[in-house]
Amino acid sequence: MLRNITLYAEADYAAMSRKAAGIFAETVKENPTAAYGFATGSTPEGMYEELVRLYGLGADFTGITTFNLDEYHPIKPDDPQSYYYYMKKRVFDPLGIRKFNLPDGTAPDPSAECIAYEHKLANAGEMAMQILGIGNNGHIGFNEPSDTFACQAGYVPLAADTISANSRFFEDPGMVPRNALTMGLHAIMMAKRILLLASGEGKAQILAQALTGPITPQVPASILQLHPCVTVVADKSAASLLK
Ligand code: GLP
Protein backbone atom coordinates (compact mmCIF):
# COMPACT_ATOMS: atom_id res chain seq x y z
CA MET A 1 0.00 0.00 0.00
CA LEU A 2 1.05 3.57 -0.59
CA ARG A 3 2.14 5.69 2.36
CA ASN A 4 -0.66 8.21 1.89
CA ILE A 5 -3.29 5.48 2.28
CA THR A 6 -4.28 4.13 5.68
CA LEU A 7 -6.23 0.89 5.47
CA TYR A 8 -8.56 -0.54 8.09
CA ALA A 9 -9.70 -4.04 7.17
CA GLU A 10 -12.53 -4.71 9.58
CA ALA A 11 -14.09 -8.10 10.33
CA ASP A 12 -17.45 -7.44 8.71
CA TYR A 13 -19.88 -4.80 7.46
CA ALA A 14 -21.01 -3.81 10.96
CA ALA A 15 -17.44 -3.32 12.16
CA MET A 16 -16.59 -1.37 8.99
CA SER A 17 -19.58 0.89 9.59
CA ARG A 18 -18.64 1.50 13.24
CA LYS A 19 -15.03 2.26 12.36
CA ALA A 20 -15.96 4.69 9.59
CA ALA A 21 -18.57 6.44 11.76
CA GLY A 22 -16.02 6.78 14.56
CA ILE A 23 -13.48 8.39 12.22
CA PHE A 24 -16.11 10.74 10.80
CA ALA A 25 -17.45 11.72 14.22
CA GLU A 26 -13.94 12.39 15.50
CA THR A 27 -13.23 14.63 12.50
CA VAL A 28 -16.44 16.58 13.09
CA LYS A 29 -15.52 16.99 16.75
CA GLU A 30 -12.25 18.60 15.65
CA ASN A 31 -13.87 20.64 12.85
CA PRO A 32 -17.49 21.16 13.96
CA THR A 33 -18.37 23.91 11.46
CA ALA A 34 -16.47 22.74 8.38
CA ALA A 35 -17.84 21.48 5.06
CA TYR A 36 -18.10 17.71 4.49
CA GLY A 37 -18.74 15.66 1.38
CA PHE A 38 -21.34 12.90 1.63
CA ALA A 39 -21.96 9.84 -0.52
CA THR A 40 -24.95 7.63 -1.19
CA GLY A 41 -25.12 3.99 -2.27
CA SER A 42 -25.66 0.96 -0.04
CA THR A 43 -22.13 0.90 1.41
CA PRO A 44 -22.38 3.93 3.74
CA GLU A 45 -25.89 3.05 5.02
CA GLY A 46 -24.49 1.28 8.10
CA MET A 47 -22.11 4.14 8.81
CA TYR A 48 -25.02 6.61 8.69
CA GLU A 49 -27.02 4.42 11.10
CA GLU A 50 -24.06 4.39 13.43
CA LEU A 51 -23.77 8.20 13.21
CA VAL A 52 -27.40 8.43 14.25
CA ARG A 53 -26.60 6.21 17.24
CA LEU A 54 -23.63 8.43 18.15
CA TYR A 55 -25.86 11.51 17.81
CA GLY A 56 -28.21 9.90 20.33
CA LEU A 57 -25.23 9.56 22.65
CA GLY A 58 -24.37 13.26 22.34
CA ALA A 59 -22.21 13.64 19.20
CA ASP A 60 -23.10 16.93 17.52
CA PHE A 61 -23.23 17.22 13.72
CA THR A 62 -25.52 20.23 13.53
CA GLY A 63 -22.82 22.80 12.75
CA ILE A 64 -21.50 21.20 9.59
CA THR A 65 -22.33 22.08 5.99
CA THR A 66 -22.63 19.12 3.65
CA PHE A 67 -22.27 18.60 -0.08
CA ASN A 68 -23.39 15.38 -1.67
CA LEU A 69 -21.40 13.91 -4.47
CA ASP A 70 -24.18 13.40 -6.94
CA GLU A 71 -27.82 13.13 -7.90
CA TYR A 72 -29.74 11.48 -10.69
CA HIS A 73 -31.23 13.66 -13.42
CA PRO A 74 -34.09 14.07 -13.96
CA ILE A 75 -35.50 13.15 -10.59
CA LYS A 76 -37.71 14.95 -8.08
CA PRO A 77 -36.51 15.36 -4.48
CA ASP A 78 -39.59 13.56 -3.14
CA ASP A 79 -38.95 10.52 -5.34
CA PRO A 80 -37.85 7.73 -2.93
CA GLN A 81 -35.10 6.82 -5.43
CA SER A 82 -33.57 10.29 -5.33
CA TYR A 83 -30.39 10.83 -3.40
CA TYR A 84 -32.10 13.88 -1.84
CA TYR A 85 -34.74 11.58 -0.34
CA TYR A 86 -32.13 9.02 0.79
CA MET A 87 -30.04 11.66 2.55
CA LYS A 88 -32.89 13.59 4.12
CA LYS A 89 -34.44 10.47 5.57
CA ARG A 90 -31.34 8.61 6.71
CA VAL A 91 -28.92 11.41 7.51
CA PHE A 92 -29.99 15.06 7.54
CA ASP A 93 -33.22 14.79 9.52
CA PRO A 94 -31.98 12.25 12.08
CA LEU A 95 -28.70 14.16 12.61
CA GLY A 96 -30.27 17.63 12.67
CA ILE A 97 -28.18 18.80 9.70
CA ARG A 98 -29.82 21.88 8.14
CA LYS A 99 -27.03 23.19 5.90
CA PHE A 100 -27.06 20.45 3.30
CA ASN A 101 -26.52 20.66 -0.44
CA LEU A 102 -27.12 18.27 -3.33
CA PRO A 103 -27.12 18.92 -7.06
CA ASP A 104 -30.69 19.70 -8.15
CA GLY A 105 -32.14 16.72 -10.02
CA THR A 106 -34.92 18.94 -11.41
CA ALA A 107 -32.64 21.64 -12.86
CA PRO A 108 -33.88 22.64 -16.33
CA ASP A 109 -30.31 23.34 -17.40
CA PRO A 110 -28.27 20.54 -15.80
CA SER A 111 -24.91 21.80 -17.04
CA ALA A 112 -25.55 25.26 -15.53
CA GLU A 113 -26.60 23.51 -12.30
CA CYS A 114 -23.22 21.74 -12.17
CA ILE A 115 -21.38 25.03 -12.53
CA ALA A 116 -23.52 26.63 -9.81
CA TYR A 117 -23.00 23.62 -7.52
CA GLU A 118 -19.27 23.82 -7.96
CA HIS A 119 -19.29 27.55 -7.08
CA LYS A 120 -21.32 26.86 -3.95
CA LEU A 121 -18.83 24.17 -2.99
CA ALA A 122 -15.83 26.42 -3.61
CA ASN A 123 -17.39 29.20 -1.52
CA ALA A 124 -17.94 26.86 1.41
CA GLY A 125 -14.19 26.51 1.95
CA GLU A 126 -12.11 23.37 2.25
CA MET A 127 -13.99 20.14 2.91
CA ALA A 128 -12.61 18.57 6.08
CA MET A 129 -13.55 15.12 4.84
CA GLN A 130 -15.07 13.56 1.74
CA ILE A 131 -16.86 10.26 2.23
CA LEU A 132 -16.71 7.98 -0.80
CA GLY A 133 -17.97 4.62 -1.92
CA ILE A 134 -16.63 2.96 -5.05
CA GLY A 135 -18.64 1.75 -8.02
CA ASN A 136 -18.11 -1.75 -9.43
CA ASN A 137 -16.38 -0.08 -12.37
CA GLY A 138 -14.22 2.16 -10.19
CA HIS A 139 -16.39 5.25 -10.37
CA ILE A 140 -16.44 7.78 -7.55
CA GLY A 141 -19.53 9.96 -7.36
CA PHE A 142 -20.79 9.45 -10.89
CA ASN A 143 -17.38 10.05 -12.47
CA GLU A 144 -17.48 7.07 -14.80
CA PRO A 145 -14.53 5.39 -16.55
CA SER A 146 -13.38 7.56 -19.42
CA ASP A 147 -10.39 8.52 -21.56
CA THR A 148 -9.68 11.57 -19.40
CA PHE A 149 -10.15 12.42 -15.74
CA ALA A 150 -13.26 14.57 -15.33
CA CYS A 151 -12.00 17.60 -13.51
CA GLN A 152 -15.16 19.62 -13.06
CA ALA A 153 -18.69 18.90 -11.91
CA GLY A 154 -20.70 17.60 -14.81
CA TYR A 155 -23.95 16.39 -16.29
CA VAL A 156 -23.02 12.85 -17.28
CA PRO A 157 -24.50 9.79 -18.94
CA LEU A 158 -24.33 6.76 -16.64
CA ALA A 159 -22.28 3.76 -17.72
CA ALA A 160 -24.27 0.67 -18.67
CA ASP A 161 -22.89 -1.30 -15.71
CA THR A 162 -23.81 1.52 -13.31
CA ILE A 163 -27.39 1.51 -14.62
CA SER A 164 -27.47 -2.24 -14.21
CA ALA A 165 -25.91 -2.15 -10.68
CA ASN A 166 -28.28 0.59 -9.50
CA SER A 167 -31.37 -1.08 -10.97
CA ARG A 168 -31.52 -3.17 -7.77
CA PHE A 169 -32.92 -0.10 -5.98
CA PHE A 170 -35.73 0.34 -8.50
CA GLU A 171 -38.92 -1.71 -8.74
CA ASP A 172 -38.74 -1.37 -12.50
CA PRO A 173 -35.15 -1.50 -13.79
CA GLY A 174 -36.28 0.54 -16.80
CA MET A 175 -36.84 3.47 -14.43
CA VAL A 176 -33.16 4.00 -13.56
CA PRO A 177 -32.31 7.53 -14.78
CA ARG A 178 -29.81 7.52 -17.63
CA ASN A 179 -28.04 10.68 -16.52
CA ALA A 180 -26.70 12.27 -13.39
CA LEU A 181 -25.12 15.39 -11.96
CA THR A 182 -21.82 14.75 -10.25
CA MET A 183 -19.15 16.58 -8.34
CA GLY A 184 -15.95 16.48 -10.38
CA LEU A 185 -12.68 14.87 -9.41
CA HIS A 186 -11.01 18.19 -8.68
CA ALA A 187 -13.45 19.03 -5.88
CA ILE A 188 -13.12 15.50 -4.46
CA MET A 189 -9.33 15.70 -4.55
CA MET A 190 -9.37 19.12 -2.82
CA ALA A 191 -10.93 17.64 0.35
CA LYS A 192 -8.46 17.62 3.22
CA ARG A 193 -9.11 13.97 3.88
CA ILE A 194 -10.84 11.17 1.98
CA LEU A 195 -12.76 8.42 3.77
CA LEU A 196 -13.33 5.60 1.28
CA LEU A 197 -15.65 2.74 2.24
CA ALA A 198 -15.86 -0.64 0.54
CA SER A 199 -17.71 -3.78 1.50
CA GLY A 200 -18.09 -7.30 0.12
CA GLU A 201 -15.99 -9.52 -2.11
CA GLY A 202 -17.58 -7.97 -5.18
CA LYS A 203 -15.54 -4.84 -4.47
CA ALA A 204 -12.21 -6.61 -3.77
CA GLN A 205 -10.91 -6.54 -7.33
CA ILE A 206 -11.83 -2.95 -8.13
CA LEU A 207 -10.57 -1.70 -4.75
CA ALA A 208 -7.18 -3.34 -5.32
CA GLN A 209 -7.05 -2.01 -8.86
CA ALA A 210 -7.94 1.52 -7.69
CA LEU A 211 -5.45 1.65 -4.83
CA THR A 212 -2.53 -0.35 -6.18
CA GLY A 213 -2.99 -0.51 -9.96
CA PRO A 214 -2.07 2.05 -12.60
CA ILE A 215 -3.52 5.54 -12.20
CA THR A 216 -5.89 5.73 -15.11
CA PRO A 217 -9.18 7.48 -15.99
CA GLN A 218 -10.49 4.01 -16.87
CA VAL A 219 -10.54 3.48 -13.09
CA PRO A 220 -11.52 6.95 -11.82
CA ALA A 221 -10.90 6.03 -8.15
CA SER A 222 -7.23 5.37 -8.97
CA ILE A 223 -6.70 9.14 -8.85
CA LEU A 224 -6.96 8.81 -5.06
CA GLN A 225 -3.42 7.41 -5.11
CA LEU A 226 -2.37 11.03 -5.67
CA HIS A 227 -4.32 12.38 -2.69
CA PRO A 228 -2.13 13.03 0.37
CA CYS A 229 -4.55 11.70 2.98
CA VAL A 230 -6.82 8.76 2.19
CA THR A 231 -8.34 6.49 4.82
CA VAL A 232 -9.86 3.29 3.48
CA VAL A 233 -12.29 1.47 5.73
CA ALA A 234 -13.22 -1.87 4.26
CA ASP A 235 -14.49 -5.18 5.49
CA LYS A 236 -12.19 -8.18 5.17
CA SER A 237 -13.83 -9.39 1.96
CA ALA A 238 -13.39 -6.08 0.14
CA ALA A 239 -9.81 -5.75 1.43
CA SER A 240 -8.87 -9.34 0.58
CA LEU A 241 -6.79 -8.47 -2.49
CA LEU A 242 -4.90 -5.59 -0.84
CA LYS A 243 -1.47 -6.24 0.52
C1 GLP B 1 -23.52 4.81 -6.84
C2 GLP B 1 -23.10 6.22 -6.35
C3 GLP B 1 -21.73 6.21 -5.78
C4 GLP B 1 -21.54 4.97 -4.93
C5 GLP B 1 -21.51 3.77 -5.84
C6 GLP B 1 -21.41 2.44 -5.12
O7 GLP B 1 -23.96 4.76 -8.13
N8 GLP B 1 -23.21 7.25 -7.31
O9 GLP B 1 -21.50 7.40 -5.05
O10 GLP B 1 -20.33 5.03 -4.23
O11 GLP B 1 -22.52 3.80 -6.79
O12 GLP B 1 -22.64 2.04 -4.61
P13 GLP B 1 -22.79 0.88 -3.55
O14 GLP B 1 -22.25 1.42 -2.27
O15 GLP B 1 -24.28 0.64 -3.47
O16 GLP B 1 -22.03 -0.29 -4.05
Whether 69 is in the pocket of ligand 1, judged by its Cβ within 6 Å, is yes
CA–CA separation, 38 vs 101, rounded Å?
10
pLDDT band at 243 (very low <50, low <70, confident <90, very high): confident
Give the pTM. Answer: 0.97
Q: Which of 17, 43, 179 to mutate to test the pocket of ligand 1 (most atoms within 8 A of CB)?
A: 43
Do residues 139 and 218 lie in contact, with contact meaning Cβ atoms separated by under 8 Å?
no
CA–CA separation, 171 vs 101, rounded Å?
27
Q: Give the CB-side neighbour count of residue 4, counting CA atoms within 13 A.
A: 14
| pLDDT above 80 for 1 | no
Q: Cα–Cα distances in Å, from 220 out to 95, 114, 135, 224, 227?
A: 31, 19, 10, 8, 13
Distance 41 CA to ligand 1 centre (A): 4
Residue 173 confidence (pLDDT): 86
What atom in ligand 1 is closest to the CA of residue 134? 10
CA–CA separation, 44 vs 197, rounded Å?
7
| Residue of 137, 161, 179, 186 marked active site | 137
Please indicate whether residue 109 is annotated as part of the active site. Answer: no
pLDDT band at 75 (very low <50, low <70, confident <90, very high): very high
Model confidence over 35-59: pLDDT tens digits? 999 999 999 999 999 999 999 999 9
Please indicate whether residue 144 is annotated as part of the active site. Answer: yes
Q: Give the CB-side neighbour count of residue 145, counting CA atoms within 13 A.
A: 15
